[in-house]
Amino acid sequence: MALETAKRPAFEKPSRKASQVWKTLSDSLRPKTKSTDDIILQLQKCFLKELGPDQAQKLLKSADCSLFEEKAEFDDFGYKRILIEENEKFNLVLMCWPEGSATSIHDHTGSECIMKCLAGKIRETRYKWPVKKRQSLEKICEEDLKKNEVSGINDEEGLHLIENPSTAERAISLHLYYPPLSECLVFDEYTGKARRIRLKLS
Ligand SMILES: [Fe+2]
């Protein structure tokens, strides 16, 4: 009697149903941030429940921060800072950049700064701290952040200037400062001279 060979099932592509299950599963593993309030609440948990800044950074990277775009307001004469949340541990600021707008070169006066680009493109130029009086600041590097890209800086890493390099498109970015930032030093690029300013938050 001839031996019957076992029939091998034909390879089948995953069904739509299976991919839907996978999507639901991945969604459930993401932080539950379906609104700006959720994101703020999760950030508060990171800091107030001692989960720590690392978790806050991860959250900011993974969360859908485009939800904050609806809070954007633009001033055609310069960039605008909108205070989203402030408590004893951190402040969260939405920055709205008209075409070609830029900050001065500044420090972060002891705070860590994490920033995420939400729309358009923002350019960060880093400088070394001045070492001598009346000397131009030395540039370290320049980096463009595109939508959803994240970068961070603290005083040990230097000073920086942020700008919207586009002449055709506005930009929006979200900035997390911890401890909260309310003032900073701004520097003259050509003399290195610094003065302290209070941040205007609307
Ligand atoms: Fe900054």
String of DSSP letters for 26-95: HHHHS----SHHHHHHHHHHHHHTT--HHHHHHHHHHS-GGGGGGG---BTTB-EEEEEEE-SS-EEEEE
Binding-site residue ranges: 106, 108, 160
CATH code where residue 161 lies? 2.60.120.10
Residue 51 forms part of a structural domain = no
Torsion of CA 53, 59, 62, 63, to 10 degrees: -140
The residue range of the domain holding 120 is 73-198
Q: Which of 11-20, 94-103, 175-184 has the lowest mean pLDDT?
A: 11-20
- Cα of 126 vs centre of ligand 1, distance in Å, is 10
- Cα of 83 vs centre of ligand 1, distance in Å, is 15
Pairing relationship of beta strands 171-178 and 183-187 according to DSSP bridges:
unpaired
Output the pLDDT for position 5: 45
| 3-class DSSP assignment, residue 20 | helix
Residue 185 forms part of a structural domain = yes
For residue range 66-121, what is the model confidence (pLDDT) as tens digits? 989 999 999 989 999 999 999 999 999 999 999 999 999 999 999 999 999 999 99
CA pair distance 49, 67, nearest whole angstrom: 24
Residue type, 166: S
Residue 165 forms part of a structural domain = yes
For residue range 119-153, what is the model confidence (pLDDT) as tens digits? 999 999 999 999 999 999 999 999 999 999 999 99
- Cα of 186 vs centre of ligand 1, distance in Å, is 10
Output the pLDDT for position 196: 97
Residue 58 forms part of a structural domain = no
Does residue 173 register a pLDDT over 50? yes
Binding-site residue ranges for Fe cation: 106, 108, 160
How many domains, in total, are found in the chain? 1
Residue 65 forms part of a structural domain = no
Residue 183 forms part of a structural domain = yes
49-57 average pLDDT score: 75
Residue 148 forms part of a structural domain = yes
Residue 34 forms part of a structural domain = no
